[in-house]
Structure 1
Amino acid sequence: MNQSILAPIKNSWILLRSIAVVSSSVTTIVSTILPILLYYTVAPDKLLLVFLLLLFGAFLIHGVLTHVLNDFADYNSGTDQNSPAILSGGSRVIQTGVISASSLWLLGKWLIFSLSLIVVGLIIFGFFKIALLLAIGLWGAISYSLRPFQFSYRPFIGEWLSMFPSVFVLGLAGAWLTLDSIPTWALQNALINALFCLAWVMVHHIPDRDADRNASPIKKTSVVWAFEKFGSAFSRLPALLYFTMAGLCAVWLGADRILAMIGALAVIATAIFLVLKMQIDNHYQVSAYEKIILILAMINGVWLGIFT
Protein backbone atom coordinates (compact mmCIF):
# COMPACT_ATOMS: atom_id res chain seq x y z
CA MET A 1 0.00 0.00 0.00
CA ASN A 2 2.80 2.38 0.92
CA GLN A 3 4.57 1.60 -2.34
CA SER A 4 1.41 2.34 -4.36
CA ILE A 5 1.08 5.70 -2.62
CA LEU A 6 4.74 6.65 -2.90
CA ALA A 7 5.19 5.62 -6.55
CA PRO A 8 3.16 8.51 -8.10
CA ILE A 9 4.93 10.99 -5.82
CA LYS A 10 8.35 9.63 -6.80
CA ASN A 11 7.46 9.62 -10.50
CA SER A 12 6.16 13.18 -10.33
CA TRP A 13 9.35 14.30 -8.61
CA ILE A 14 11.50 12.74 -11.34
CA LEU A 15 9.39 14.36 -14.06
CA LEU A 16 9.48 17.74 -12.34
CA ARG A 17 13.27 18.18 -12.68
CA SER A 18 13.14 20.46 -9.67
CA ILE A 19 16.75 21.68 -9.88
CA ALA A 20 16.05 23.31 -13.24
CA VAL A 21 12.81 24.88 -11.98
CA VAL A 22 14.41 26.25 -8.81
CA SER A 23 17.44 27.73 -10.58
CA SER A 24 15.30 29.48 -13.18
CA SER A 25 11.65 30.06 -12.28
CA VAL A 26 11.88 30.08 -8.48
CA THR A 27 15.03 32.20 -8.59
CA THR A 28 13.42 34.87 -10.76
CA ILE A 29 10.36 34.93 -8.48
CA VAL A 30 12.52 35.37 -5.36
CA SER A 31 14.55 38.05 -7.14
CA THR A 32 11.40 40.19 -7.33
CA ILE A 33 9.58 39.21 -4.14
CA LEU A 34 12.66 39.75 -1.94
CA PRO A 35 13.04 43.51 -2.66
CA ILE A 36 9.32 44.04 -2.05
CA LEU A 37 9.66 42.27 1.30
CA LEU A 38 12.76 44.26 2.27
CA TYR A 39 12.06 47.73 0.92
CA TYR A 40 8.28 48.15 0.40
CA THR A 41 5.27 48.36 2.66
CA VAL A 42 3.10 45.54 1.40
CA ALA A 43 0.79 43.50 3.62
CA PRO A 44 2.70 40.30 4.50
CA ASP A 45 -0.31 38.06 3.87
CA LYS A 46 -0.78 39.56 0.39
CA LEU A 47 2.90 39.14 -0.45
CA LEU A 48 2.90 35.57 0.82
CA LEU A 49 -0.21 34.78 -1.22
CA VAL A 50 1.37 36.18 -4.39
CA PHE A 51 4.60 34.29 -3.72
CA LEU A 52 2.81 30.98 -3.18
CA LEU A 53 0.61 31.55 -6.23
CA LEU A 54 3.63 32.22 -8.46
CA LEU A 55 5.52 29.31 -6.93
CA PHE A 56 2.65 26.93 -7.61
CA GLY A 57 2.28 28.25 -11.16
CA ALA A 58 6.01 27.93 -11.82
CA PHE A 59 6.15 24.30 -10.73
CA LEU A 60 2.92 23.45 -12.56
CA ILE A 61 3.81 25.15 -15.86
CA HIS A 62 7.62 25.16 -15.99
CA GLY A 63 8.07 22.01 -13.94
CA VAL A 64 5.25 19.67 -14.92
CA LEU A 65 3.64 20.78 -18.20
CA THR A 66 6.82 21.96 -19.94
CA HIS A 67 8.71 18.78 -19.07
CA VAL A 68 5.77 16.50 -19.92
CA LEU A 69 5.50 18.00 -23.40
CA ASN A 70 9.26 18.20 -23.89
CA ASP A 71 9.81 14.58 -22.82
CA PHE A 72 7.04 13.43 -25.16
CA ALA A 73 8.33 15.43 -28.15
CA ASP A 74 11.97 14.43 -27.64
CA TYR A 75 11.05 10.78 -27.19
CA ASN A 76 9.13 10.80 -30.48
CA SER A 77 12.01 12.41 -32.36
CA GLY A 78 14.50 9.97 -30.82
CA THR A 79 16.90 12.50 -29.38
CA ASP A 80 16.39 11.55 -25.72
CA GLN A 81 17.11 7.89 -26.43
CA ASN A 82 20.57 8.82 -27.78
CA SER A 83 21.40 11.48 -25.20
CA PRO A 84 24.32 10.96 -22.78
CA ALA A 85 21.57 11.44 -20.16
CA ILE A 86 23.68 12.84 -17.34
CA LEU A 87 21.74 16.04 -16.69
CA SER A 88 20.27 16.35 -20.17
CA GLY A 89 18.12 13.95 -22.15
CA GLY A 90 14.84 14.60 -20.38
CA SER A 91 13.58 13.09 -17.15
CA ARG A 92 13.97 9.52 -18.55
CA VAL A 93 10.54 8.50 -17.24
CA ILE A 94 9.60 6.99 -20.63
CA GLN A 95 12.95 5.27 -21.22
CA THR A 96 12.93 3.65 -17.78
CA GLY A 97 9.34 2.49 -18.13
CA VAL A 98 8.06 4.64 -15.28
CA ILE A 99 5.42 6.28 -17.50
CA SER A 100 4.46 5.29 -21.05
CA ALA A 101 4.66 7.83 -23.86
CA SER A 102 0.89 7.58 -24.40
CA SER A 103 0.19 8.21 -20.70
CA LEU A 104 2.53 11.19 -20.70
CA TRP A 105 0.79 12.63 -23.74
CA LEU A 106 -2.62 12.08 -22.11
CA LEU A 107 -1.42 13.94 -19.02
CA GLY A 108 -0.12 16.77 -21.19
CA LYS A 109 -3.43 17.11 -23.06
CA TRP A 110 -5.45 17.17 -19.84
CA LEU A 111 -3.16 19.78 -18.32
CA ILE A 112 -3.45 21.99 -21.40
CA PHE A 113 -7.23 21.62 -21.45
CA SER A 114 -7.62 22.25 -17.71
CA LEU A 115 -5.29 25.25 -17.63
CA SER A 116 -6.96 26.73 -20.69
CA LEU A 117 -10.33 26.51 -18.91
CA ILE A 118 -8.78 28.21 -15.88
CA VAL A 119 -7.52 31.06 -18.10
CA VAL A 120 -11.05 31.54 -19.47
CA GLY A 121 -12.49 31.44 -15.94
CA LEU A 122 -10.00 34.00 -14.69
CA ILE A 123 -10.94 36.34 -17.54
CA ILE A 124 -14.66 35.93 -16.85
CA PHE A 125 -14.19 36.77 -13.16
CA GLY A 126 -11.93 39.74 -13.89
CA PHE A 127 -8.54 38.37 -12.84
CA PHE A 128 -6.93 39.66 -16.01
CA LYS A 129 -3.35 39.88 -14.77
CA ILE A 130 -3.25 36.29 -13.51
CA ALA A 131 -5.00 35.11 -16.69
CA LEU A 132 -2.34 36.79 -18.84
CA LEU A 133 0.53 35.34 -16.78
CA LEU A 134 -0.96 31.86 -17.04
CA ALA A 135 -1.62 32.24 -20.76
CA ILE A 136 2.00 33.27 -21.42
CA GLY A 137 3.22 30.27 -19.42
CA LEU A 138 0.93 27.98 -21.41
CA TRP A 139 2.16 29.46 -24.67
CA GLY A 140 5.77 28.93 -23.66
CA ALA A 141 5.26 25.26 -22.78
CA ILE A 142 3.13 24.43 -25.83
CA SER A 143 5.07 26.37 -28.45
CA TYR A 144 8.42 25.05 -27.21
CA SER A 145 7.64 21.38 -27.81
CA LEU A 146 4.44 20.78 -29.75
CA ARG A 147 3.76 20.97 -33.45
CA PRO A 148 3.08 23.00 -35.51
CA PHE A 149 5.35 25.33 -33.52
CA GLN A 150 7.95 23.08 -31.85
CA PHE A 151 10.27 26.06 -31.49
CA SER A 152 12.82 24.09 -29.47
CA TYR A 153 13.70 22.38 -32.76
CA ARG A 154 14.66 25.69 -34.38
CA PRO A 155 17.75 27.74 -33.53
CA PHE A 156 17.16 30.85 -31.40
CA ILE A 157 13.39 30.81 -31.95
CA GLY A 158 12.81 28.44 -29.03
CA GLU A 159 14.69 30.74 -26.68
CA TRP A 160 13.08 33.99 -27.75
CA LEU A 161 9.50 33.04 -28.55
CA SER A 162 8.95 30.39 -25.88
CA MET A 163 11.46 30.39 -23.00
CA PHE A 164 12.29 34.07 -22.65
CA PRO A 165 8.72 35.46 -22.50
CA SER A 166 7.70 32.83 -19.96
CA VAL A 167 10.63 33.38 -17.56
CA PHE A 168 10.79 37.17 -18.07
CA VAL A 169 7.11 37.72 -17.32
CA LEU A 170 7.36 35.47 -14.29
CA GLY A 171 10.16 37.73 -13.06
CA LEU A 172 7.93 40.78 -13.42
CA ALA A 173 4.87 39.13 -11.93
CA GLY A 174 5.62 39.72 -8.24
CA ALA A 175 5.92 43.48 -8.71
CA TRP A 176 3.04 43.61 -11.21
CA LEU A 177 0.62 41.91 -8.81
CA THR A 178 1.63 43.74 -5.61
CA LEU A 179 2.70 47.26 -6.65
CA ASP A 180 0.95 50.02 -8.56
CA SER A 181 3.57 49.89 -11.31
CA ILE A 182 6.58 47.84 -12.36
CA PRO A 183 9.75 49.55 -11.01
CA THR A 184 12.92 49.75 -13.07
CA TRP A 185 14.72 47.39 -10.69
CA ALA A 186 12.09 44.70 -11.32
CA LEU A 187 12.54 45.05 -15.07
CA GLN A 188 16.33 44.84 -14.67
CA ASN A 189 16.21 41.79 -12.41
CA ALA A 190 13.73 39.95 -14.62
CA LEU A 191 15.76 40.65 -17.75
CA ILE A 192 19.11 39.56 -16.30
CA ASN A 193 17.65 36.42 -14.71
CA ALA A 194 15.87 35.45 -17.94
CA LEU A 195 19.04 35.87 -20.02
CA PHE A 196 21.02 33.88 -17.45
CA CYS A 197 18.40 31.16 -17.78
CA LEU A 198 18.74 31.10 -21.58
CA ALA A 199 22.52 30.83 -21.20
CA TRP A 200 22.51 27.82 -18.90
CA VAL A 201 19.93 26.07 -21.07
CA MET A 202 22.41 26.43 -23.94
CA VAL A 203 25.05 24.76 -21.77
CA HIS A 204 22.48 22.06 -21.03
CA HIS A 205 22.13 21.40 -24.78
CA ILE A 206 25.86 20.94 -25.45
CA PRO A 207 26.08 17.22 -24.52
CA ASP A 208 23.01 16.48 -26.66
CA ARG A 209 24.22 18.04 -29.89
CA ASP A 210 24.96 14.71 -31.63
CA ALA A 211 21.69 13.15 -30.46
CA ASP A 212 19.80 16.26 -31.57
CA ARG A 213 21.44 16.19 -35.00
CA ASN A 214 20.40 12.57 -35.50
CA ALA A 215 16.83 13.09 -34.34
CA SER A 216 13.86 12.93 -36.71
CA PRO A 217 12.97 15.70 -37.18
CA ILE A 218 16.39 17.16 -36.46
CA LYS A 219 16.36 19.10 -33.21
CA LYS A 220 18.32 22.04 -34.50
CA THR A 221 18.97 23.90 -31.28
CA SER A 222 21.12 27.02 -31.27
CA VAL A 223 23.96 24.77 -30.09
CA VAL A 224 23.51 22.46 -33.09
CA TRP A 225 23.31 25.48 -35.41
CA ALA A 226 26.60 26.89 -34.07
CA PHE A 227 28.23 23.46 -34.26
CA GLU A 228 27.24 22.98 -37.90
CA LYS A 229 27.97 26.57 -38.88
CA PHE A 230 31.37 27.10 -37.25
CA GLY A 231 32.59 23.76 -35.90
CA SER A 232 32.52 21.75 -32.69
CA ALA A 233 34.40 24.28 -30.56
CA PHE A 234 31.66 26.85 -31.21
CA SER A 235 29.01 24.71 -29.51
CA ARG A 236 29.58 26.98 -26.52
CA LEU A 237 28.86 30.13 -28.60
CA PRO A 238 25.10 30.47 -27.78
CA ALA A 239 25.79 30.23 -24.04
CA LEU A 240 28.56 32.84 -24.32
CA LEU A 241 26.25 35.10 -26.33
CA TYR A 242 23.50 35.03 -23.72
CA PHE A 243 25.89 35.42 -20.80
CA THR A 244 27.41 38.44 -22.56
CA MET A 245 23.95 39.93 -23.05
CA ALA A 246 23.24 39.39 -19.35
CA GLY A 247 26.53 41.12 -18.54
CA LEU A 248 25.65 44.12 -20.70
CA CYS A 249 22.30 44.36 -18.92
CA ALA A 250 24.14 44.20 -15.59
CA VAL A 251 26.15 47.27 -16.63
CA TRP A 252 22.77 49.00 -17.06
CA LEU A 253 22.37 48.81 -13.26
CA GLY A 254 25.13 51.42 -13.11
CA ALA A 255 25.77 53.76 -10.23
CA ASP A 256 22.22 53.48 -8.89
CA ARG A 257 22.80 49.82 -8.05
CA ILE A 258 26.57 49.60 -7.90
CA LEU A 259 26.72 46.59 -5.54
CA ALA A 260 24.13 44.74 -7.60
CA MET A 261 26.13 45.46 -10.75
CA ILE A 262 29.44 44.32 -9.26
CA GLY A 263 27.93 41.10 -7.92
CA ALA A 264 26.08 40.28 -11.13
CA LEU A 265 29.14 40.93 -13.27
CA ALA A 266 31.29 38.75 -10.99
CA VAL A 267 28.80 35.87 -11.21
CA ILE A 268 28.40 36.23 -14.99
CA ALA A 269 32.18 36.44 -15.49
CA THR A 270 32.58 33.22 -13.48
CA ALA A 271 29.97 31.50 -15.66
CA ILE A 272 31.70 32.69 -18.85
CA PHE A 273 35.04 31.41 -17.52
CA LEU A 274 33.51 27.98 -16.91
CA VAL A 275 31.98 27.85 -20.40
CA LEU A 276 35.30 28.81 -21.99
CA LYS A 277 37.20 26.31 -19.86
CA MET A 278 34.91 23.29 -20.30
CA GLN A 279 35.89 20.46 -22.62
CA ILE A 280 32.70 20.23 -24.65
CA ASP A 281 33.33 16.61 -25.67
CA ASN A 282 33.59 15.57 -22.03
CA HIS A 283 29.91 15.19 -21.14
CA TYR A 284 30.63 14.57 -17.48
CA GLN A 285 32.66 17.76 -17.17
CA VAL A 286 30.03 19.81 -19.03
CA SER A 287 27.34 18.46 -16.70
CA ALA A 288 29.50 19.17 -13.63
CA TYR A 289 30.04 22.74 -14.80
CA GLU A 290 26.33 23.06 -15.53
CA LYS A 291 25.60 22.25 -11.89
CA ILE A 292 27.91 25.07 -10.83
CA ILE A 293 26.23 27.42 -13.28
CA LEU A 294 22.82 26.51 -11.84
CA ILE A 295 24.11 27.49 -8.40
CA LEU A 296 25.47 30.73 -9.87
CA ALA A 297 22.03 31.46 -11.35
CA MET A 298 20.47 31.20 -7.89
CA ILE A 299 23.20 33.34 -6.30
CA ASN A 300 22.74 35.96 -9.02
CA GLY A 301 18.97 36.13 -8.56
CA VAL A 302 19.16 36.48 -4.77
CA TRP A 303 21.98 39.03 -5.01
CA LEU A 304 19.96 41.20 -7.38
CA GLY A 305 17.02 40.91 -5.01
CA ILE A 306 18.98 42.06 -1.96
CA PHE A 307 20.84 44.94 -3.57
CA THR A 308 17.92 46.84 -5.05
Structure 2
Amino acid sequence: MVEIHHFTHGWVTPGFSYALSVLGSLLGLVCAIRLRNAQNTAGRVWWLSLAAVAIGGTGIWTMHFVAMMGFSVDGTPIRYDVGLTAASALIAVVSVTVGLSIVSFGNRAGSVRIILGGLISGLGVGAMHYTGMAAMRLNGHIEYGIGLVVVSMAIAVVAATVALWLALTVRKATAIVGAALVMGVAVNGMHFTGMAAMSVHRVNANAIGTPSGATASQMLIPIGVAVLFGALGLAYALMAAPTDEDRAAAAYLASRRSPDSSVPQSTGRPAPQASSRPDIPASREAGRQMPTIGASWTYRDRSGR
Protein backbone atom coordinates (compact mmCIF):
# COMPACT_ATOMS: atom_id res chain seq x y z
CA MET A 1 0.00 0.00 0.00
CA VAL A 2 1.30 3.42 -1.00
CA GLU A 3 1.30 6.29 1.47
CA ILE A 4 -1.16 9.07 0.68
CA HIS A 5 -1.28 12.64 1.92
CA HIS A 6 -4.42 14.74 2.36
CA PHE A 7 -2.78 17.96 3.52
CA THR A 8 0.19 18.41 1.19
CA HIS A 9 -0.05 22.19 1.48
CA GLY A 10 -0.80 22.20 5.19
CA TRP A 11 -4.03 23.82 6.35
CA VAL A 12 -4.29 26.09 3.31
CA THR A 13 -6.44 23.80 1.18
CA PRO A 14 -8.79 22.56 3.96
CA GLY A 15 -9.18 26.10 5.27
CA PHE A 16 -9.96 27.48 1.83
CA SER A 17 -12.31 24.61 1.04
CA TYR A 18 -14.20 25.24 4.28
CA ALA A 19 -14.50 28.94 3.44
CA LEU A 20 -15.94 28.07 0.03
CA SER A 21 -18.45 25.65 1.53
CA VAL A 22 -19.59 28.32 4.00
CA LEU A 23 -19.85 30.92 1.21
CA GLY A 24 -21.89 28.60 -1.00
CA SER A 25 -24.16 27.62 1.89
CA LEU A 26 -24.65 31.26 2.86
CA LEU A 27 -25.63 32.33 -0.65
CA GLY A 28 -27.82 29.26 -1.04
CA LEU A 29 -29.73 29.90 2.19
CA VAL A 30 -30.39 33.51 1.22
CA CYS A 31 -31.63 32.34 -2.18
CA ALA A 32 -33.84 29.80 -0.40
CA ILE A 33 -35.46 32.62 1.57
CA ARG A 34 -36.23 34.42 -1.69
CA LEU A 35 -37.54 31.12 -3.06
CA ARG A 36 -40.04 30.84 -0.19
CA ASN A 37 -41.23 34.40 -0.76
CA ALA A 38 -41.45 34.24 -4.57
CA GLN A 39 -44.77 35.52 -5.90
CA ASN A 40 -45.07 33.24 -8.96
CA THR A 41 -43.77 30.02 -10.47
CA ALA A 42 -41.17 31.73 -12.64
CA GLY A 43 -39.70 33.45 -9.60
CA ARG A 44 -39.62 30.21 -7.64
CA VAL A 45 -37.83 28.40 -10.46
CA TRP A 46 -35.32 31.25 -10.72
CA TRP A 47 -34.44 31.28 -7.03
CA LEU A 48 -34.45 27.48 -6.91
CA SER A 49 -31.84 27.38 -9.67
CA LEU A 50 -29.66 29.97 -7.95
CA ALA A 51 -29.88 28.17 -4.60
CA ALA A 52 -28.95 24.84 -6.20
CA VAL A 53 -25.95 26.33 -7.99
CA ALA A 54 -24.80 28.09 -4.81
CA ILE A 55 -25.11 25.06 -2.52
CA GLY A 56 -24.37 22.25 -4.97
CA GLY A 57 -21.84 24.05 -7.16
CA THR A 58 -19.93 26.31 -4.78
CA GLY A 59 -20.69 24.89 -1.35
CA ILE A 60 -20.18 21.21 -2.21
CA TRP A 61 -18.42 20.56 -5.52
CA THR A 62 -15.95 23.46 -5.50
CA MET A 63 -15.12 22.65 -1.88
CA HIS A 64 -14.39 19.06 -2.96
CA PHE A 65 -12.14 20.17 -5.81
CA VAL A 66 -10.15 22.64 -3.72
CA ALA A 67 -9.64 20.03 -1.01
CA MET A 68 -8.27 17.66 -3.66
CA MET A 69 -5.58 20.23 -4.45
CA GLY A 70 -3.88 19.11 -1.24
CA PHE A 71 -4.14 15.40 -2.05
CA SER A 72 -1.02 13.52 -3.21
CA VAL A 73 0.23 9.94 -3.46
CA ASP A 74 3.85 8.93 -3.05
CA GLY A 75 5.56 7.80 -6.23
CA THR A 76 2.93 8.79 -8.77
CA PRO A 77 1.57 11.95 -10.37
CA ILE A 78 -2.19 12.51 -10.30
CA ARG A 79 -4.30 13.54 -13.26
CA TYR A 80 -8.05 14.01 -13.64
CA ASP A 81 -10.48 12.96 -16.33
CA VAL A 82 -12.15 16.21 -17.37
CA GLY A 83 -15.40 14.54 -18.45
CA LEU A 84 -15.93 12.70 -15.17
CA THR A 85 -14.94 15.79 -13.20
CA ALA A 86 -17.57 17.85 -15.03
CA ALA A 87 -20.11 15.06 -14.49
CA SER A 88 -19.46 15.14 -10.74
CA ALA A 89 -20.23 18.87 -10.70
CA LEU A 90 -23.46 18.28 -12.61
CA ILE A 91 -24.48 15.51 -10.19
CA ALA A 92 -24.02 17.86 -7.22
CA VAL A 93 -26.15 20.64 -8.71
CA VAL A 94 -28.90 18.34 -9.99
CA SER A 95 -29.21 16.43 -6.70
CA VAL A 96 -29.56 19.66 -4.70
CA THR A 97 -32.08 20.94 -7.26
CA VAL A 98 -34.21 17.81 -6.83
CA GLY A 99 -34.05 18.01 -3.05
CA LEU A 100 -35.01 21.68 -2.96
CA SER A 101 -37.84 21.05 -5.45
CA ILE A 102 -39.31 18.33 -3.25
CA VAL A 103 -39.47 20.55 -0.17
CA SER A 104 -40.27 23.85 -1.92
CA PHE A 105 -43.11 22.96 -4.29
CA GLY A 106 -46.41 21.75 -2.98
CA ASN A 107 -48.92 22.79 -0.37
CA ARG A 108 -46.87 21.81 2.68
CA ALA A 109 -43.24 20.94 3.30
CA GLY A 110 -43.71 18.32 6.00
CA SER A 111 -41.16 16.06 7.60
CA VAL A 112 -41.71 13.36 4.96
CA ARG A 113 -40.81 15.77 2.18
CA ILE A 114 -37.72 16.99 4.05
CA ILE A 115 -36.49 13.44 4.72
CA LEU A 116 -37.13 12.36 1.13
CA GLY A 117 -35.42 15.45 -0.25
CA GLY A 118 -32.50 14.99 2.14
CA LEU A 119 -32.13 11.34 1.16
CA ILE A 120 -32.01 12.13 -2.56
CA SER A 121 -29.72 15.13 -2.12
CA GLY A 122 -27.41 13.27 0.28
CA LEU A 123 -27.06 10.26 -2.00
CA GLY A 124 -26.39 12.66 -4.87
CA VAL A 125 -23.68 14.42 -2.89
CA GLY A 126 -22.08 11.06 -2.11
CA ALA A 127 -22.29 10.10 -5.78
CA MET A 128 -20.63 13.40 -6.66
CA HIS A 129 -17.75 12.67 -4.29
CA TYR A 130 -17.03 9.17 -5.52
CA THR A 131 -17.51 10.17 -9.17
CA GLY A 132 -14.89 12.84 -8.62
CA MET A 133 -12.60 10.24 -7.05
CA ALA A 134 -13.19 7.93 -10.03
CA ALA A 135 -11.95 10.75 -12.26
CA MET A 136 -8.46 10.43 -10.72
CA ARG A 137 -5.76 8.86 -12.86
CA LEU A 138 -2.60 7.56 -11.16
CA ASN A 139 -0.11 4.72 -11.30
CA GLY A 140 -1.89 2.51 -8.82
CA HIS A 141 -5.14 0.87 -7.81
CA ILE A 142 -7.65 2.65 -5.54
CA GLU A 143 -9.65 0.70 -2.96
CA TYR A 144 -12.22 1.84 -0.41
CA GLY A 145 -13.08 0.58 3.05
CA ILE A 146 -16.78 -0.17 3.03
CA GLY A 147 -17.29 0.94 6.63
CA LEU A 148 -16.05 4.50 6.14
CA VAL A 149 -17.85 4.71 2.80
CA VAL A 150 -21.15 3.97 4.56
CA VAL A 151 -20.32 6.52 7.26
CA SER A 152 -19.52 9.18 4.65
CA MET A 153 -22.80 8.53 2.83
CA ALA A 154 -24.71 8.71 6.11
CA ILE A 155 -23.05 12.04 6.89
CA ALA A 156 -24.04 13.29 3.42
CA VAL A 157 -27.69 12.29 3.90
CA VAL A 158 -27.93 13.82 7.37
CA ALA A 159 -26.16 16.99 6.25
CA ALA A 160 -28.45 17.35 3.23
CA THR A 161 -31.56 16.81 5.35
CA VAL A 162 -30.46 19.43 7.87
CA ALA A 163 -29.58 21.80 5.03
CA LEU A 164 -33.06 21.47 3.52
CA TRP A 165 -34.67 22.01 6.91
CA LEU A 166 -32.56 25.12 7.43
CA ALA A 167 -33.47 26.36 3.96
CA LEU A 168 -37.13 26.26 5.00
CA THR A 169 -36.81 27.77 8.47
CA VAL A 170 -33.97 30.28 8.87
CA ARG A 171 -34.74 33.96 8.30
CA LYS A 172 -32.58 36.11 10.57
CA ALA A 173 -29.09 37.08 9.46
CA THR A 174 -27.41 35.57 12.52
CA ALA A 175 -29.26 32.29 12.03
CA ILE A 176 -28.26 32.18 8.35
CA VAL A 177 -24.58 32.70 9.17
CA GLY A 178 -24.68 30.07 11.92
CA ALA A 179 -26.43 27.60 9.64
CA ALA A 180 -23.84 28.20 6.90
CA LEU A 181 -21.01 27.52 9.35
CA VAL A 182 -22.64 24.25 10.44
CA MET A 183 -23.28 23.20 6.85
CA GLY A 184 -19.62 23.88 6.03
CA VAL A 185 -18.52 21.56 8.82
CA ALA A 186 -20.89 18.83 7.60
CA VAL A 187 -19.77 19.05 3.96
CA ASN A 188 -16.09 18.97 4.87
CA GLY A 189 -16.69 16.15 7.34
CA MET A 190 -18.31 14.07 4.63
CA HIS A 191 -15.47 14.76 2.19
CA PHE A 192 -12.59 13.88 4.49
CA THR A 193 -14.41 10.83 5.84
CA GLY A 194 -14.73 9.57 2.28
CA MET A 195 -11.07 10.35 1.65
CA ALA A 196 -10.08 8.40 4.77
CA ALA A 197 -11.86 5.36 3.32
CA MET A 198 -9.48 5.33 0.34
CA SER A 199 -6.23 3.40 0.00
CA VAL A 200 -3.87 3.19 -2.99
CA HIS A 201 -1.97 0.05 -3.98
CA ARG A 202 0.82 0.00 -6.53
CA VAL A 203 -0.12 -2.42 -9.31
CA ASN A 204 3.36 -2.57 -10.82
CA ALA A 205 6.36 -1.45 -8.83
CA ASN A 206 8.20 -0.64 -12.06
CA ALA A 207 5.36 1.39 -13.56
CA ILE A 208 6.55 4.75 -14.75
CA GLY A 209 5.10 7.52 -16.84
CA THR A 210 2.44 10.14 -16.46
CA PRO A 211 -1.24 9.18 -16.52
CA SER A 212 -3.47 10.86 -19.06
CA GLY A 213 -5.71 13.74 -18.07
CA ALA A 214 -5.46 17.26 -16.70
CA THR A 215 -3.67 18.34 -13.57
CA ALA A 216 -5.57 19.97 -10.74
CA SER A 217 -3.72 23.24 -11.33
CA GLN A 218 -4.73 23.24 -15.00
CA MET A 219 -8.39 23.08 -14.02
CA LEU A 220 -8.01 25.51 -11.14
CA ILE A 221 -8.00 28.70 -13.25
CA PRO A 222 -11.23 28.05 -15.23
CA ILE A 223 -12.97 26.74 -12.12
CA GLY A 224 -11.79 29.72 -10.07
CA VAL A 225 -13.01 32.17 -12.71
CA ALA A 226 -16.38 30.39 -12.89
CA VAL A 227 -16.77 30.44 -9.11
CA LEU A 228 -15.78 34.11 -8.89
CA PHE A 229 -18.22 35.31 -11.53
CA GLY A 230 -20.90 32.96 -10.25
CA ALA A 231 -20.60 34.33 -6.71
CA LEU A 232 -20.64 37.91 -8.00
CA GLY A 233 -23.70 37.16 -10.13
CA LEU A 234 -25.51 35.61 -7.18
CA ALA A 235 -24.65 38.56 -4.96
CA TYR A 236 -25.91 41.00 -7.62
CA ALA A 237 -29.14 39.04 -8.08
CA LEU A 238 -29.74 39.07 -4.33
CA MET A 239 -29.11 42.81 -4.02
CA ALA A 240 -31.17 43.73 -7.08
CA ALA A 241 -34.22 41.63 -6.20
CA PRO A 242 -36.88 43.37 -4.07
CA THR A 243 -37.27 42.11 -0.52
CA ASP A 244 -40.48 41.64 1.47
CA GLU A 245 -39.92 45.05 3.06
CA ASP A 246 -39.58 46.62 -0.39
CA ARG A 247 -42.83 45.04 -1.56
CA ALA A 248 -44.64 46.09 1.61
CA ALA A 249 -43.42 49.66 1.25
CA ALA A 250 -44.47 49.77 -2.41
CA ALA A 251 -47.92 48.42 -1.54
CA TYR A 252 -48.30 50.98 1.25
CA LEU A 253 -47.35 53.86 -1.03
CA ALA A 254 -49.72 52.59 -3.71
CA SER A 255 -52.56 52.43 -1.20
CA ARG A 256 -51.87 56.00 -0.11
CA ARG A 257 -52.17 57.33 -3.62
CA SER A 258 -55.71 58.45 -4.53
CA PRO A 259 -56.80 57.77 -8.10
CA ASP A 260 -58.35 61.30 -8.24
CA SER A 261 -55.44 63.06 -6.59
CA SER A 262 -55.08 65.38 -9.61
CA VAL A 263 -58.67 66.69 -9.22
CA PRO A 264 -59.18 69.34 -6.53
CA GLN A 265 -61.51 68.08 -3.83
CA SER A 266 -64.28 70.23 -2.32
CA THR A 267 -63.85 71.24 1.32
CA GLY A 268 -67.41 72.51 1.82
CA ARG A 269 -66.27 76.14 2.14
CA PRO A 270 -66.70 78.85 -0.46
CA ALA A 271 -63.66 79.55 -2.54
CA PRO A 272 -61.84 82.75 -1.59
CA GLN A 273 -62.75 85.72 -3.77
CA ALA A 274 -60.24 87.79 -5.57
CA SER A 275 -58.79 90.55 -3.49
CA SER A 276 -59.98 94.07 -4.20
CA ARG A 277 -56.53 95.30 -3.30
CA PRO A 278 -53.68 93.99 -5.38
CA ASP A 279 -51.22 94.24 -2.49
CA ILE A 280 -53.24 91.85 -0.27
CA PRO A 281 -53.40 88.14 -1.12
CA ALA A 282 -56.80 86.64 -1.78
CA SER A 283 -56.51 84.33 1.21
CA ARG A 284 -55.97 87.25 3.59
CA GLU A 285 -58.78 89.23 1.98
CA ALA A 286 -61.08 86.24 2.40
CA GLY A 287 -60.11 86.04 6.04
CA ARG A 288 -61.09 89.64 6.55
CA GLN A 289 -64.44 89.15 4.83
CA MET A 290 -65.43 85.94 6.62
CA PRO A 291 -66.86 86.29 10.15
CA THR A 292 -65.37 84.34 12.98
CA ILE A 293 -67.04 80.98 13.33
CA GLY A 294 -69.04 80.66 16.50
CA ALA A 295 -68.98 84.42 17.34
CA SER A 296 -72.32 86.10 18.35
CA TRP A 297 -73.24 89.73 18.97
CA THR A 298 -76.41 91.83 19.66
CA TYR A 299 -77.16 95.24 18.28
CA ARG A 300 -79.17 97.64 20.43
CA ASP A 301 -80.74 100.81 19.14
CA ARG A 302 -80.05 103.42 21.83
CA SER A 303 -81.10 106.46 19.84
CA GLY A 304 -84.37 106.79 21.81
CA ARG A 305 -82.55 107.38 25.07
Q: Fold conserved (TM > 0.5)?
A: no
* TM-score of the superposed pair, with normalisation by structure 2: 0.32
The structure having more radius of gyration, on CA atoms, is 2
- The structure carrying a bigger strand percent of its residues is 2
- The structure carrying a bigger helix percent of its residues is 1
